Structure 1
Amino acid sequence: MEALDFARWQFGITTVYHFIFVPLTIGLSLLVAIMQTVAYTSKDPVKADSWTRLTKFFGSMLIVNFGIGIATGIVQEFQFGMNWSEYSRFVGDIFGAPLALEGLIAFFMESTFLGLWIFGWNRMSKKVHLLTIWLVALGTTASAYFIIAANSFMQHPVGAQFNPTTGRAELDPEAGGIFAVLANPTTLAAFPHVIAGAWLVAAAFVTGIAAFHMVRHHNRAQELEADTAAAQEHTHLAREVFRPAVRFGTLAMVISALLIFVSGDVQAKLMFQQQPMKMASAEAICEDQEGVPFSILTVGGPEAFKQNCSDVTHLIEIPYVTSILATNNPNAELRGVESLQKEYKEKFGDTVVNAAGETVEANYRPNLFVTYWSFRLMMGFAVFSGILAVWAWWVTRGKGEMRRTTGSKWFARFAVLAIPMPFLANSAGWVFTEMGRQPWVVHPSPTGDPMVRMMTMQGVSGHPDWIVILTLVGFTLIYGALAVVWYYLMHKAAVKGVSAPQRVTADDGAKQLDTPTISFGY
């Protein structure tokens, strides 16, 4: 291994680690905003109180998650200039624009209004305070758009031209410039898919935690005498607080799953056009063929780990599915890895000069094992959310006085188990997106300037190996410690739950509901 490998490992570790927090922040900010809206618009004081408690309960976890996401995101962006200076030199004028917009517009917007939301309880009018959390949700979504626009330029460069005098890529006003970058068709396809994935993460998070508490309070009420005040409190929490949260999370999972399916289909078809090598590797298609099946299980020999596609064996396949995914035509012909490798060698050369000025053999195939399995893990982990949605909907069915709660400990265990699965699906999806693009850090566009391209080995900085190893080990250890702190704070807030509403007598003798203040994990 050399500096390039260590730099890639470092960027991969910090990116995957950072993206643990990103989808939860994006999705949870929206769900918390909806919860507070329900509380604000409800005419029923009991319902309004329940949703206010849920808003503050899940809002406390949003605060913790947002804070640690900031720290890890800053480190990720600094790597572009530190470990990947040649890449930054080549496309910095283009790539830096959406990143700057993300910081100046989206980040300041979400962080400012989150602060107002945290400290504005009972200090602002309810309407203005509600507006602040919606602006937080809008800011997190806008932040995702600008980041995806930057990443999409790496997948499909548009609005740019190569300047032979400076040896750099520059924005081209005649090709649309920054507006073309922001309206990149790859961005427009990826954005709804990423946002839907974030909603699924947050929906599973809300459903899993709410289901755990619903079961706990249901069983606690069963253990107590039915007519006691304590039993009634537990029944109220199970039925009036956490059951609606379970139903709400289930509905959010269904909506996000439908959007993931539709946007994923659009994105896959676009990838087959823009990055055929990535999709051929994802399906382990070695040679050009018609009516391509979808491989459920493929095994590879020793040569497969060296990107030799011929050393793979398809064991379980579904006929014609991959051709349908690519073109909607079951008999469509798709390009294979080996034929694309020959084509790319003819088009881009048999050799390439790396960042150190050395001439090495060009290999245009990504890591077949990682690309193939990350694509399947992305879909496989998402199945847990589907099972949870069906199960949760069934055990909470009924209306009016027939509304059900459940004491099934198996349901509670599965609900908690299902919480991390969308996180893993999101991470697997990004591993597929980035690893499948290799060996390109800026993939050549089939329609744009053919010279706006860069291989990963050409983008790395010229650091000695030991420097990159030192920072790799340092950040991994620091992030490991932060992970422990994050889990402790999130677990503490999640297990705490909410208290039952206390009836207090006002000076005029009327009964009021006493709602808790927002809790801070730190």
Structure 2
Amino acid sequence: MDTLDLSRLQFAVVTIYHYFFVPLSISLAALTAGLQTAWHRTGKQHYRDLTMLVGKLLMVTFAVGVVTGLVQEFQFGLAWSDFARFYGDVFGPTLAIEGMLAFFLEATFLGLWFFGWDRLPRRAHLATIWVVAVGTLISAYVILAANSFMQNPIAYGVDPETGRARLDDFFELMVNEVNLAAFPHTMSGAAMTGGALLLAIGAWRAWGRRGRVRTDDAAIEHRDHAAWQRLARLGAWVTAFGGVAVAVTGDILGKIITTVQPMKMAAAEALYASQSGAPFSILAVGGSRGGEPFFSIDIPFLLSILAKGDPTATVQGMDDLQAQYTELYGPGDYMPYVPVAYWTFRLMIGAGMAAAALAVVFLVLTRKGNPPIRPGRVRTLAGRAVLWALPLIPTLPILANTFGWIFTETARQPWLVFGMFKTEDGVSPGLTAGEVLASLIGFGIVYGILAVVWLRLVLHLSRLDLSPDPDRPDDGDDSSPSARSLAAAAPTY
């Protein structure tokens, strides 16, 4: 692999790893704010206990996300300085605003929320977590505007004296049509990610082995069973609604991408020749470049519907677009690597649909407070299957997010900024493959350690009881249930 390939791989690793935590932070912030609001309105203790749990999950996730986000922003100067030099005036404001929001707004108010439980007035304390929740949305919108510029460059001009791009209209950059569609799509995926995590934790604690306490006579429900049940169903509802929103917003985004980047949508279907009433293949095997596959399962007209909303519409193929781009931009290969675009598009859809489907099944099995497992019932097998799938459920939205970003970025190649700036022109001059490889290995080691730390902290928080054990006094031992409970860590007003 040469310097360009290694630089792309390094940016991909840094970005994908960072994005594991971004949607979780966004959704957990909103869920924490919602749960605390419910506690304020109802006064029910379980809402307060769940607020503390979800808030602590947020803090752990936010900390790792901020650290990895810093590395991602530094990549523009480390490996892509030519790109930063040319487009820095356009990207600079978005990165600066996002950085200020993350460090000065979100981090500050998250600290006020955590340390202000017994120090701030009730409404002021509630306001701090809502500032965090709104701040994460603003931060996401601004940084998505920077990425949308790479998909659909607008609101800039080239300075004739410096030869560098300059930002002409910040508002126009913010309302890029790609960003207006990508933001709700991305936030819907974030909702699924946070919801799936809460679903897994709540179901595991409510109906798993830890959900029942063994006595001499029988197994009885844990005192926090009802609260864990509510958490699981809340996560399931958020995941299910997020799945519906992902489908709706994804349809809108797909039509806009077809307009601004027709090659990307053609690559998603491996469509080489333009076709009216183009089908969408669920699975295709074999076939050389431009040739028919040996085997495929097609849904008639679906690609034309996804791309243009008309079952009879003509979808441009990659061969025709290659000829157009050659005439417009000069000689070169303007087709992305089709197998990656084809399969990541389907894996994105498949993982998202699977997460939403599991959430719906869980809601059906647990309606009216019923447990998912009840001996002698027909749904026992389905209930057991859902509980067995608990470790998988949180990973499905993460995989969908990951495959979606891989598709978005790789199917834009060979462009760094579509139609304006090629990827090969953005690499830092003088950068060697050895330097990139060394830094990539270093990042990999550090990120591996962070992943283990984050996972252990999440599992530790998930194992804690929500409320102290009333039958066992707190004797000062840190291992006692009272000392280990989440509620004991947060004083009452």
Both proteins in one fold, TM over 0.5: yes
Q: Where does residue 487 of structure 1 map in the other structure?
A: 455
Match of 2:199 in 1: 207
Taking the aligned partners of 1:39 and 1:225, their CA distance within structure 2 comes to: 36
Q: Which runs of 5+ in 2 are unaligned?
A: 374-382, 474-484
The structure-2 alpha-carbon separation of the partners of 1:438 and 1:223, relative to structure 1 and needing over 3 Å to count, comes to farther
* C-alpha distance in 2 between matches for 1:42 and 1:285: 55
Distance 1:156 1:327 in 2: 18
In structure 1, what is the equivalent of residue 325 of structure 2? 344
Distance in 1, Cα, partners of 2:454 & 2:232: 24
- Give the 3 Å change call, closer, same or farther, for CA 222–276 of structure 1 in structure 2: same
Q: Is the 8 A contact 2:348 2:403 kept in 1?
A: yes
Partner Cα separation in structure 1 for residue 116 and residue 488 of structure 2:
11
1:467 to 420, 425, 435: 435
Alignment counterpart, residue 274 of structure 1, candidates 243, 253, 260: 260
Aligned-partner Cα distance in 1 for 2:63–2:135: 15
Equivalent positions of 1:172-321 (< 5 A) are 172=168, 177-216=169-208, 220=212, 225=217, 231=220, 234-238=221-225, 240-301=226-287, 308-310=289-291, 312-313=293-294, 315-321=296-302
Q: 1:515 to 1:435 in 2, by over 3 A?
A: closer
- Following the alignment from structure 1 to structure 2, what is the Cα–Cα distance between the partners of residues 225 and 218? 17
The residue aligned with 2:405 is 430
For residues 421-441 of structure 1, the C-alpha deviation after alignment (integer angstroms, 9 at most, x for no partner) is: 101100110001101111100
Aligned length: 469
> Counterpart of 2:297 in 1: which secondary structure?
strand
How big is the shift at 1:250? 1.8
Identical counterparts, % of pairs: 41
Q: Could you tell me which residue of structure 2 aligns to residue 476 of structure 1? A: 444
**Distance in 2 separating the partners of 1:290 and 1:186:** 25
**RMSD between superposed Cα atoms in Å:** 2.1
The match for 1:9 is 9
- One of 315, 331, 340 as aligned partner of 1:334: 315
**Which letter maps to 1:416?**
P
User: In 1, distance between residues paired with 2:414 and 2:115?
Assistant: 48
TM-score by length of 1: 0.86
Structure 2 length as normaliser, TM-score?
A: 0.90
Contact 1:439/1:456 (<8 A) preserved: yes
Whether contact under 8 Å (2:204, 2:210) holds in the other structure is no
Matched-pair contact (CA < 8 Å) for 1:109–1:136: yes
2:405 pairs with 1:405: no
Task: State whether residues 52 and 486 of structure 2, in contact with CA within 8 Å, keep that contact through their aligned partners in structure 1.
Answer: no
Q: Distance in 1 between matches of 2:417 and 2:452?
A: 35
Q: 2:20 — aligned with what?
A: 20
The correspondence for 2:77, drawn from 60, 69, 81, is 81
The alignment partner of 2:487 has SS state of: coil
When residues 314 and 343 of structure 1 are mapped into structure 2, their CA distance, relative to the original with a 3 A threshold, is farther
Q: Compared with structure 1, are the counterparts of its residues 310 and 342 closer, same or farther at alpha carbon in structure 2 (3 Å cutoff)? A: farther
Higher relative contact order (CA 8 A, sep 6+): 1
* Contact 2:89–2:167 (Cα < 8 Å) also in 1: yes
SS at match of 1:437: coil
Task: Please say if residues 161 and 169 of structure 1, whose CA atoms lie closer than 8 Å, have aligned partners that are also in contact.
Answer: yes
Paired residues of 1:323 and 1:330 also in contact (CA < 8 A):
yes
Cα offset, 1:37, TM superposition: 1.1
Residue 325 of structure 1: CA displacement?
A: 0.9
Q: How does 1:89-100 map to 2 (within 5 A)?
A: 89-100=85-96
Given that 1:22 and 1:69 are in contact with CA atoms closer than 8 Å, whether structure 2 keeps it comes out as yes
